[in-house]
Structure 1
């Protein structure tokens, strides 16, 4: 399976237990009518796949859905899901305007008081 979107956050690699289990989390925000913030875990050697990425980049992440069962001390069975990433690819913007900052609304600019249509300018059109 795959998830596409913009990187919202990349956490640091964290190490757990005596065996040195490593985990790193990535949040990707999908670009659809109702954007979703998807938490994806990278474990062990896959943590290093995120080193060359940063927040704001468009990516395609290959994932596996994982599920597990756990019985608590009271004998109740609980189920947990996780999303594990195993590949990350950068998606090139469709045009050069994708990296440009947004233009402020017209109200953000002050009106011009001394505009004269007859002033000469050197524009070629």
Structure 2
């Protein structure tokens, strides 16, 4: 399952290296802030191996698109979730420090396909009754 996140690179954390039974490994965590204008969220992701080296080409403030997978593991009755980025690239539209903010999400139907707004009458009370001689419709 591949997920995508587009956001501004906030911080690249120090690289972590180690030695395992399969040899040396390295990983680097980084933080992306979503472009949601009303409630932006900060998300910490992990890049392993060569992908950790790819982070060096980006600067804080760049707008990135990260493709990642989410995985949770249990250890000593506690659960740990990791967002493992396997593709990191500059998002369409350029770099965050020089680009305009992302446009707000719009409704699926374009504005031009909607009929022109018509004035609606004032709402009628719920218990309104009409006599037979008055065939006035409420609209």
TM-score norm. by structure 1 comes to 0.66
Could you say which residue in structure 1 is the equivalent of 2:129?
none
Looking at CA atoms only, which structure, 1 or 2, has the larger radius of gyration? 2
Deviation string, structure 1 residues 76-95 (Cα, Å, up to 9, x no partner): x221111110111102437x
Equivalent of 1:21 in 8, 20, 25: 25
Alignment RMSD (CA, Å): 1.9
Could you say which residue in structure 2 is the equivalent of 1:50?
55
Other structure's SS at 2:57 match: coil
Distance 1:80 1:17 in 2: 21
Alignment gaps of 5+ in structure 2: 100-139
8 A contact 1:49–1:87 mirrored in 2: no
Could you say which residue in structure 2 is the equivalent of 1:84?
84
Shift of 1:37: 0.7
Could you say which residue in structure 2 is the equivalent of 1:10?
12
Could you say which residue in structure 2 is the equivalent of 1:99?
98
**How many matched pairs?**
92
Shift of 1:21: 2.1
Shift of 1:10: 1.3
Alignment gaps of 5+ in structure 1: 72-76, 101-125
